[in-house]
């Protein structure tokens, strides 16, 4: 019996070590954008600090519309990024809408919102929110530009893993390990897609090759965690 228990302990330790090594490999070269404790490194778009509707609890960034006061707005990184691999997890409440917006050029006087310049990976309750009925507006889509090739999104209340990889104009979006969008930015085909979208005529939309990353306040309850980035 003692020998059995000893062997079981050894096997458990080996499995734990293997799991730890795998996790380290997955995060090697990545920098945390969210420390799990504070909103350090982030601010509300056009302001210097984060609004109080963005709360931190249990290692998550939680947008809570029930918090009183005028403390909303899209949460935006202090730093700009050009070539990058972004990883994060998100979950939404019933009927909720949000988004991960990137290549945001922050000039609030000229561009009133993060989405005035930035591209968006949609975060959504597909079944509950009206946007779920609109093509190219569903979870994982490159919002209003490219429809996801499949929909591996998880049910409301469950965590989804999102990844955005952009390098030298080559863009890929992943949802729960599945590549759902792939395209080339800023070439003639990109310009043609933009010209057929709601962003046609928006000055400089989708043209910036460096910018900030934002988490959207769409007025609905949403959570984000394990936000990290690798510059490529």
Say yes or no to pLDDT of 19 above 80: no
- pLDDT confidence band for 26 (50 / 70 / 90): low
Mean pLDDT computed over every residue of the chain: 92
CATH 2.60.40.10 fits 33-231, yes or no: no
For residue 41, give the nearest of 187, 232, 231, 228 by alpha carbon. 228
Could you report the per-residue pLDDT of 168-219, keeping only the tens digit for each? 999 999 999 999 999 999 999 999 999 999 999 999 999 999 999 999 999 9
* Backbone phi and psi for residue 212, each to the nearest 5 degrees, phi listed first: -90, 165
Dist CA 181 CA 142 (whole Å)? 7
High-pLDDT (> 70) share of the chain, %: 89
Quote the pLDDT of residue 10.
Answer: 47
C-alpha dihedral sign at 193, 196, 201, 202: negative
């Amino acid at each position: 019996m003692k020998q059995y228990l000893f062997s079981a302990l050894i096997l458990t330790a080996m499995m734990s070590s293997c799991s730890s090594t795998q996790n380290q490999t997955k995060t090697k070269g990545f920098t945390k954008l969210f420390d799990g404790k504070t909103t350090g490194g982030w601010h509300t778009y056009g302001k210097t600090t984060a609004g109080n509707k963005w709360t931190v609890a249990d290692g998550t960034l939680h947008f809570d519309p029930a918090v009183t006061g005028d403390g909303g707005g899209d949460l935006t990184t202090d730093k700009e990024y050009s070539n990058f691999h972004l990883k994060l997890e998100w979950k939404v409440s019933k009927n909720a809408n949000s988004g991960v917006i990137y290549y945001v050029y922050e000039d609030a006087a000229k561009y009133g919102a993060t989405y005035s310049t930035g591209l968006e990976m949609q975060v959504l309750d597909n079944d509950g929110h009206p946007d779920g009925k609109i093509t190219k507006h569903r979870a994982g889509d490159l919002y209003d530009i490219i429809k996801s090739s499949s929909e591996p999104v998880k049910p409301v209340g469950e965590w989804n893993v999102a990844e955005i990889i952009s390098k030298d104009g080559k863009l890929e979006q992943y949802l729960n390990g599945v590549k759902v969008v792939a395209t080339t930015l800023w070439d003639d085909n990109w310009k043609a897609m933009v010209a057929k979208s709601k962003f046609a005529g928006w000055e400089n939309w989708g043209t910036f090759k460096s910018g900030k990353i934002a988490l959207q306040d769409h007025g609905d309850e949403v959570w984000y965690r394990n936000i990290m980035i690798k510059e490529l």
